[in-house]
Amino acid sequence: MIEKDEIVKTSILEAATKVFQKWGLHKTTMEDIAHAAGKGKSTLYYYFKSKEEIFHTIATQEITNITRLAEEAMSKTAKAKDKLQTYISMVSQEIHERTVIYSILVGEITQNTQLIDRIQKNFNETETRLLEKVLQLGVETGEFKSLSNENIAKAATLLVTIIRSFEVDLIVNKQIQDVGAYSDLLSGILLNGLKS
């Protein structure tokens, strides 16, 4: 039964992603999702309380997948600098390729502030924890200057803010096409500053 439930939930989420991509969160109805999934509305309500819960589930899965892929790539490098560069590159590329959810997140900010804030907070916290580990490693190995634990936490928060701004302004809003070149430049500036 659990396997069947997971299959049904997956089909609902896949259909909902397409509907959200077409109409956005605000204009989409549960009826639209049910129709796209080939299910009755009662089936949707059995698995999800609302379209917002469906969207939250999709966004959380996306965040989890992106973080997992970044962590896997980072685990293949030993140096903190390489891990940070890999992280920026991987996350930027993945968000560029998965712009559906991120475009909706940006577009819906004024209409669904509580939901968007909750999703954004989840992603920020996940990224911050991951970057704190990278910074801690860099301090321990001498790759980065010595920072207190408090300043490591602050630096991780700043990095997340910078990276998120890059993602939103340049990737989601489609200001650039060559994401790799820009993410490499961003990594270089963060790691080396602008010194010659």
pLDDT in tens, 95-152: 777 665 666 665 655 566 777 778 788 888 999 999 999 999 999 999 998 999 999 9
What pLDDT is recorded for position 112?
67
Share of the chain above pLDDT 70, in %: 86
Give the other-Cβ count within 10 Å of 156's Cβ. 21
Give the other-Cβ count within 10 Å of 95's Cβ. 21
On whether the CB atoms of residues 130 and 87 are closer than 8 A, the answer is yes
Of 45-49, 60-64, 69-73, 169-173, least confident by mean pLDDT is: 169-173
DSSP states of 31-58: HHHHHHHT--HHHHHHH-S-HHHHHHHH
pLDDT exceeds cutoff 80 at 40 = yes
Share of the chain above pLDDT 90, in %: 44
Long-range contacts of 167-172 (CB under 8 A, 24+ apart): 167/91, 167/92, 167/95, 167/102, 168/102, 168/106, 171/92, 171/95, 171/96, 171/99, 171/102, 172/95, 172/99, 172/102, 172/103, 172/105, 172/106
CA distances for 155 relative to 74, 141, 193, angstroms: 19, 17, 15
